[in-house]
Structure 1
Amino acid sequence: MALQTNHGQETAKDWLPVSQFPTVAHLDLLHHNLIKDPCIDTNELDSLWVNDADWSYRIVLPPLSQTSTSGKKVTLVFEGLDTICSVYVNDELVLESRNMHIAHRVDVTKIVDNNAGKELELELRFSNAPAYAKSEMKRIGYKGNGTDIHFGGPERLFVRKAQYHWGWDWGPALNTSGPWKPVYVEIFEARVSEFVVRQEVSEDLKSAVVKVTGSVEGGAEEVEIEVHSPSGESVLKQGIKLDENREFKAELKVQNPELWYPFTYGAQPLYTVSATLPNLDNQEKKIGFRRLRLLQHALKKEEGTSFTFEINNIRTFCGGSCWIPGDCLLPRFTPSRYKSWLTLAKSGNQTMIRVWGGGIVESDSFYATCDELGILVWQDFLFASGNYPASDDFCEAVKGEAEEQVKRVGHHASLVIWAGNNEDYMLAERWGWEYDPEDEEGPWDQTDFPARRIYERVMPGVCERLAGDVPYWRSSPYGGKTSNDLTVGDTHIWDVWHGKQSPYQAYKSYLSRFISEFGFESAPSLLTLPQGITKPSERHWQSLTFDAHDKGPGHQRRYGMYSAENFRFRFNPLRNFVYCSQFLQAEAMKYAYNHWRREFRGEGEENCSGILVWQLNDIWPGTSWSLVDVNLQRKPAFYITKRALSKLVVGMERVVTGSVPYGNLVPRAKTETRDLGSFDIESGEERELKEEKERKVQLKGNGMTELGGLELGSDAERIVVVAYLEDGKTGERLARWVDWPEPLKYVSFKKGVEVKVMVEEGKGKKMVKVRADAPVKGVVLSVPVEEGVDAIWEDNFVDLVPGETRSVPSATDQGARLVEFEIGFSSEH
């Protein structure tokens, strides 16, 4: 396939071979060195012209013989065209596509027959999406006022294209164009189409029903449905006659199914359901049997209702993060890259990923991998932060899009909710759109919030017909008297960092039933930053290039403010800024998780059933809210959340009267040992505690257990307390928490603290061991930057207390060959 532009740029006026397929124009221009990488330095600005250009792709198809096509149908399949595309075969217009998120099948049998034995020229002519969007906005009319839109102009709302292509506060504006998903020719006598599989597990979990629907295109009269067990054994097999519309429908009962669980609660067996036209076609779906309910019951001791996902009659705590699209240029994000990212999430004990509405409904491999790994998926429909139109034709378009996407991915066991949009109700309240929550009837067409028609009529209708047991939720956030009500539904907590810019210690006051977004910015790793900023003179936090790679508004003011409130700091050289910004992010996450996870207290007291960090991943070598940078370099906040989401957690809250430890065990009750230690921060000497140092504790299953309180006395500001939970039988240390006085800027650390680092083999892994003769806050282990690659650490960003050696496993040899460490708060910092 070849590429050409009609933009008039001399650089690409001739047909050029594509760099890969599927593709988009930016990838091909990069391949031919016609633009510089827009993710590096300030090249984004120099490549903006590509967003506004028109592009054409063409290929000459080899002749198809009459023998190969006789009596068969020939179809061109377009799995995804980005976005405004006219398709021609031998200069005959065969398709007009206006939606990036849908597939097309075009019958070209007649064209092929008329050109038997001849080559066919396929040409895809893409018009730039921004110009089309502006024309649609003019045609339909924008209900907003022009100031109530973020991230691009309001025209983005009028075209069905990934919204982040207009730029967002974590990535560049690369408005791509091209055949972003596979294009191919399909020749068949008969085929299964619209094959939809859903499952329903009985309340007692002893049986399940497999529900299948579909249709057949072509000459067959019967379809064969078969269910195979996870081991490959045929469980059920049934032939189904087609009805007069050439459609089929069946329900098959499976006894004693192997149940699918999120990975913290059980295994992930997957069954295969197939629809076969013998010798003609075979379609397969992999499913997991699981009983899913979204519980919203009254709480025993708190206002409002729970927001709890119950899987197989177990009420689950959903800790994890939000997912943005994996790449600025989507065709280069491969299944193996999905696997790497999602495996990383699981390694961080993340049981839920929220796919954000400003991107895409992800590839099949994304959901298949989540099924295999046992990671739950919250999926937004594709509307984000805007006042969308709701004309008849627009609603019809998004209805078709939603139907296709729900059919495509709705069978996955990992999928547990569809949300109508990202933050649109929250914006309605913020900007004063005509929104009356009491008005459930409408019509809303004449108000300045017409998209309620989409979220309250179109999408719930689609989900009611097609989503099976997966619930629909109007928006994220949504619920209660306002969209961000702390007592009902889910919330986005942005009064820390954004909004009021409250101290991160205020997270406790934002406790809500399910926190589906919150976050704190930090720089990428020292290994990743130079990839985005190639000039050494620009590698400091106040440079133009650094600002170009941090799209978050007001970031410089916020780094300084939050740092000054919490610790003594310096931001230059660059190493210090990276450490300090990552330290801030990690401490904010630690504070939030320490308070919020504590509130999953047990049945009837699910005061907080989920915490999703904004965001897991990054899209370029920039500064953002991600836990992991674009090169899979884990930030300290990743390790904080990993420890906070362990099955067994011990935590502690320091209040005026002392510290209160608590424990959390999933999934069953058990007797453990609680052990305490206390040290003078400045001298490193052990301090006596009034509370008994060690005692047996009974922890209830799948909830939180309060373990008591400690009195620290009048000099609490110089005392650090460490709490452990240990196996009641073996003495193995299962959980740990170190509690510090705040703010750290007032704390005096020991001068000349001695930190020792040792490397040895341990349990088949390289083990780095660290100890100190006085309390030390925030030790980060890394391989020197000069090595060009860091180790993959299983833990990091550790606090040290005397008399204890912290073992940090490394999954790679780098951690054992060469290691250095950054001491956060000691006499040097």
Structure 2
Amino acid sequence: FRPVTELTVSLNGKWTLSNSNGSLLLPAEVPGCVHSALQQQGFILDPYFRFNDLSYRWISLDNWTYTTTFTVPPQLRVKRKVLLVFDGVDTVASVSLNGVTVGKTDNMFRRYDFSVSDLLKDGDNVLEVNLLSPVVYASERRKAHSSYRVPPECPPDVQKGECHVNFIRKEQSSFSWDWGPSFPTMGLWKGVQLEAFDILQLVQVSSVPLYDSSVSQWKLQVELHVDAVQTTNGRVTLSIPELGTEQTSQMQFLQGKTKNSFVLNINTSSQVKLWWPSGHGDQHFYRLAVRGFQDGFLVLNTESKVYFRAVELVQEPVVGSPGLSFYFRINGKPIFLKGSNWIPAHSFQDRVTPAVLRNLLQSAVDANMNGLRVWGGGVYEQDLFYDICDELGIMVWQDFMFACAMYPTEDDFIQTVREEVVQQVRRLKSHPSIIIWSGNNENEAALATDWFNIPAAQRPTYLKDYVTLYVDNIRQIVQEEDQSRPFLISSPTNGAESEQEGWVAANPYDPHYGDVHFYSYTLDCWDWRTFPRTRFASEYGFQSWPSFSTLHLVSVKEDWSYDSNFTSHRQHHEAGNQQMLLQAALHFNLPNSTDPLRRFTDTLYITQVMQAQCVKTQTEFYRRSRSEIIGGEGQTMGALYWQLNDIWQAPSWSSIEFGGKWKMLHYFAQSFFAPVLPVGFEDDETLLVYAVSDLSHDLKLRAVVTVYSWSELDPVCTRTSDLLTVPEGSAVPVFKQPVAALLAGCGRCSRPTCLLTFHLEDGGGQQQGPTNHHFLCSPKDAQGLKTPNITAKVQQDESGFTVSLHSASVAPFVWLDVGNVAGRFSSNGFLMVSRNRTVRFDAWRPTSVAELSASLTVTSLTDVY
């Protein structure tokens, strides 16, 4: 066969960058952005250092021009069609080649291509991309929309951000958010290349598996997006060699860009190996080969991964409850989603390396997560993100990029959004990890509960805009492009019930329907009664500060106190620093060291203790509610806390600090998301222990409850329940006893003097799942709690580093920190009720026993008093 005749020439690499008046001229990498180029060339310092987010506001208020000069090989010049392709322009730009304007861009989330065959010449070709200030552009678009306001006009003052981000199709959080800085980026954030061909070009191939349960048959819907120079006849062969499946179809390659759909019937359905979420099976894939012929010549030749995975969002009446269920069935099996919410991993997307992505996603799976929600105020993530999720079995709830705002619905805005949605769905729909599309973040709730003080008379205008954007456009496109997975208009939403109510429910937070976002910083987070017993919790959480080693990189000595200008500046959530201390003070004595630095680091620690314990309590409540309906509420089937990762070094709701260090919360998540988990709580002065199982088989388990005195390390007494059957995928009570009776049977114990640990065992006495704890009083009221004087010894063996701890007494929230040595411990933040304990340390860079010993600090609760 004659080979495929496409030719691609990358234009990535060194360009030059200049500002509007020409006072700055510097080299710039593509892909990249203006801020990165300025920093790399020494024009600015680290944008994250101290107050530089404010100092460098001028960058996004200027216009910038990227320029490159290139030559093209003769074999490209003679091609019949040559396209100049931009995979991502951030954001509003005019593109010219050899002095001729070839097109404009206005959407960060779109791929743009411009036909340039007639403009290329021998020798040097000059390509210019003139970028407008996104801040000025958004403001001008707002002024042009004079008939009515589109709120919010500006972010809250505490966020120190820019206004009117809802008027530009750009990462919404780049104008600031309550966990991130304002860095309205500009640049060529993805690749640029010339693509040339004589006959046709394969723009994209996608494959979506569809399962027909009535005949137990898989079929694969394959789409080829082709750009042809002229209409020609040909044939296409699709094959999956591993399944022995091959099919050839005649087709006409129409001139221009076309979508060509094929259905490949899989005749060996019984043997098809499926893709399963992490913890439920393997992530098997097959290779799909696509070959296209025209006049006997090979004109298409590509291979892609194919995964067989079916997903359903089940919304059905619930016995004993008003409302509807809300859970995901994967390959016919109900799956409880355990995980978190994903935000952009950096303000400057060019800094999000493969290593950063893999570390964060592996950290999610290593904490027993099986799901992440890609939140709608950031970016549609890069291909590698979804590839890793496919590989690791992480289910992705994918928002479209609209968040916490109303949006305009002018024709040009709708048109660019339509193109964005088409492109993103086509790009992403082959990934089995994506199990649902969601139209926006919190915009239904914003309308329903009137976040923006819209007068009643104007409400119909905003409702109409809402339906126009999300229902008539985004939903319609998604349903045309992808029949393989569910679509929700918003999150939170009442799902099917919201649709019945005209797409905006009276109360989108109704726990009887859909998913719920819930935040409360003033109620006592140790009291599970304060949480809604929702069908699905897709956002909830508490803030904490990152560790000192993370903050140290972007601050100076005068910043190192809890009431410094720096700590105030980094807090973008109104009253957030005070809320953390108020919540912590409910159960802990606040740090009071006379040494200012010690007091600061102790306070950072106590915010992490508070956050970890709060999210643990709430998540365990959701996990134990999966099999129950109480007062018409329950059957919770998802717990995605806010948020997994950080965008910079600052206080936030994250469980992983910027740079990858695990907070105490992330170590806790390893346990509270464990496949088998004991959950203990009190109801009406009675202790209950539930056994929660995500496994695919029944277990026989008993609870073992051990009572300890705060003042000594030997257990006071132990109570064991009878063996009970714990069915697959369920939560059942296995232990119940009034606390007074439990303590009376133990002799010398009262609520202030004792605490409990508990675990699950099978009939053979083997422990199943982690050991958990339950405090009978607030630790600040504990009697007999001493300073444990923990000693630590770092050692190294063939498997790596270990830290051996010895404690003189019970020690809650034992925290090991090795400063700026990147890595993580096998366990951390734990309750130590034994004299000795050994934990492993997995270093992410070369280190030594000497360095670790010198860096290691061990903190427990009484050390901060």
1:143 aligned onto 2:149: yes
Conservation of the 8 A alpha-carbon contact between 1:307 and 1:514? yes
The match for 1:160 among 139, 153, 169 is: 169
CA–CA distance in structure 2, aligned partners of residues 130 and 507 of structure 1: 44
Displacement, 1:485? 1.4
CA contact (8 A) 2:608 2:663 kept: yes
Alignment correspondent of 1:130: 135
Q: Indicate conservation of the 8 Å contact 1:149/1:386, yes or no.
A: no
Q: CA deviation at 1:431?
A: 2.6
Partner of 2:643, secondary structure, is: coil
Alignment equivalent of 1:793, drawn from 812, 825, 830: 825
CA, structure 1 residues 165+531, in 2 after alignment: closer, same or farther (shift >3 Å)? same
Taking the aligned partners of 1:553 and 1:634, their CA distance within structure 2 comes to 25
What is the aligned partner in structure 1 of residue 680 from structure 2? 652
TM-score by length of 1: 0.91
Q: Does 1:750 align with 2:785?
A: yes
Give the alignment of 1:36-47 within 5 angstroms. Answer: 36-47=45-56
Matched, 1:489 2:498: no
Distance 1:712 1:403, change over 3 A: same
Distance 1:147 1:828, change over 3 A: closer
Once the two structures are TM-superposed, the CA of residue 653 in structure 1 deviates from its matched residue by: 0.1
- Residue 687 of structure 1: CA displacement? 2.9
Deviates more, 1:324-333 or 1:806-815: 806-815
User: Considering only aligned residues, what root-mean-square deviation do their CA atoms show, in Å?
Assistant: 2.8
TM-score by length of 2: 0.87
Q: In the TM superposition, what whole-angstrom CA distance separates every residue of 1:720-756 from its partner, at most 9, and x where no partner exists?
A: 1111123433624532111112322211233354545
**Which of the residues 821, 824, 829 maps onto 2:860?**
824
* 2:68/2:128 contact within 8 Å kept: yes
Partner amino acid for 1:450?
D
Q: Which structure 2 residues correspond to residues 229-268 of structure 1 after superposition, within 5 A?
A: 235-242=245-252, 248-254=260-266, 255-256=268-269, 257-268=272-283
Which residue does 2:485 correspond to in 1?
470
Asked if structure 2 preserves the Cα contact closer than 8 Å seen for 1:601 and 1:607, the reply is: yes
Q: Which of 81, 84, 92 is the aligned partner of 2:89? A: 81
User: Partner letter of residue 573 of structure 2?
Assistant: G
| C-alpha distance in structure 1 between counterparts of 2:864 and 2:516, whole Å | 40
Q: Distance in 2 between matches of 1:761 and 1:302?
A: 56
How far has the Cα of 1:660 moved from its partner? Answer: 0.8
Aligned equivalent of 1:505:
526
Unpaired runs of at least 5, structure 1: none
Distance apart, 1:72 and its partner CA: 2.8
2:539 matched residue in structure 1: 517
Of residues 113, 126, 135, the one that matches 1:105 is 113
1:271-286 pair list within 5 angstroms? 271-277=286-292, 279-286=298-305
In structure 2, do the counterparts of structure 1 residues 662 and 32 end up closer, same or farther at CA, with 3 Å as the change threshold? Answer: same
Q: Secondary structure at the match of 1:590?
A: helix
The answer to which of 579-588 and 663-672 deviates more is 663-672
1:578-593 aligned at under 5 Å gives the runs 578-593=604-619
Is 2:60 the partner of 1:51? yes
Is the Cα–Cα contact under 8 Å of residues 688 and 736 in structure 2 kept in the other structure? yes
Deviates more, 1:742-751 or 1:291-300: 742-751
Displacement, 1:290? 1.0
Percent identity, aligned pairs only? 24
Give the C-alpha shift of residue 218 in structure 1.
3.2
Once the two structures are TM-superposed, the CA of residue 233 in structure 1 deviates from its matched residue by: 6.7
Matched, 1:343 2:331: no
TM superposition shift of 1:147: 6.4
Equivalents in 2 of 1:436, 1:274: separation in Å?
57
Once the two structures are superposed, the pairs formed by residues 468-617 of structure 1 within 5 Å of their partners are 468-479=483-494, 481-494=506-519, 496-497=520-521, 501-508=522-529, 509-533=531-555, 535-570=556-591, 572=596, 573-601=599-627, 607-617=635-645
Cα–Cα, structure 1 residues 268 and 436, in superposed 2: closer, same or farther, change >3 Å? farther
| Deviation for aligned residue 1:680 | 1.8
* Pairing 1:275-314 to 2, within 5 Å after superposition: 275-277=290-292, 279-314=298-333
Amino acid at match of 2:136: A
1:341-399: CA deviation from partner (whole Å, max 9, x where unpaired) = 11111111111111111111111111111001100001111111111111232222211
Q: Is the 8 A contact 2:813 2:861 kept in 1?
A: yes
Indicate how the Cα distance of structure 1 residues 577 and 247 shifts in structure 2: closer, same or farther if over 3 A, else same.
Answer: closer
Distance 2:654 2:864 in 1: 28
**Contact map agreement 2:581 2:607 (CA 8 A) in 1:** no
* More strand per residue: 2
Structure 1 residue 693 corresponds to structure 2 residue 720: yes
Provide the C-alpha distance between the structure 2 equivalents of 1:358 and 1:338, rounded to a whole number of angstroms: 18
Contact (CA 8 Å) 1:527, 1:789: kept in 2 or not?
A: no
Select 1:330's aligned residue among 327, 344, 349.
349
1:703 to 2:724 alignment:
no
Describe the SS at the equivalent of 1:338.
helix
Three-state SS of the structure 2 residue aligned to 1:196 is strand
State the shift of 1:517 in Å: 0.8
* Residue 5, structure 1, aligned to residue 18, structure 2: yes
Change (3 A) 1:507 1:726: closer
Q: CA deviation at 1:766?
A: 4.0
* Deviation larger for 168-177 or 479-488: 479-488
Would you say how many aligned residue pairs link Structure 1 and Structure 2? 804
**Contact map agreement 2:152 2:406 (CA 8 A) in 1:** no
Paired position in structure 1 for 2:9: none
- SS of aligned partner of 2:737: coil
Asked if residue 222 in structure 1 is aligned to residue 231 in structure 2, the reply is: no
Amino acid at match of 2:83: T
Post-superposition shift, 1:35? 1.5
Q: Is the 8 A contact 2:787 2:809 kept in 1?
A: no
- Equivalent position amino acid for 1:143 in 2: R
- TM-superposed deviation, 1:326: 1.2
C-alpha distance in 2 between matches for 1:754 and 1:269:
50
Tell me, yes or no, if the aligned pair for 1:192 and 1:276 is still in contact at 8 Å: no
- Residue equivalent to 1:722: 757
Which has the larger displacement, 135-144 or 308-317? 135-144
CA gap of 1:334–1:236, structure 2 versus 1, over 3 A, is farther
Say which SS state the counterpart of residue 659 (structure 1) adopts: strand
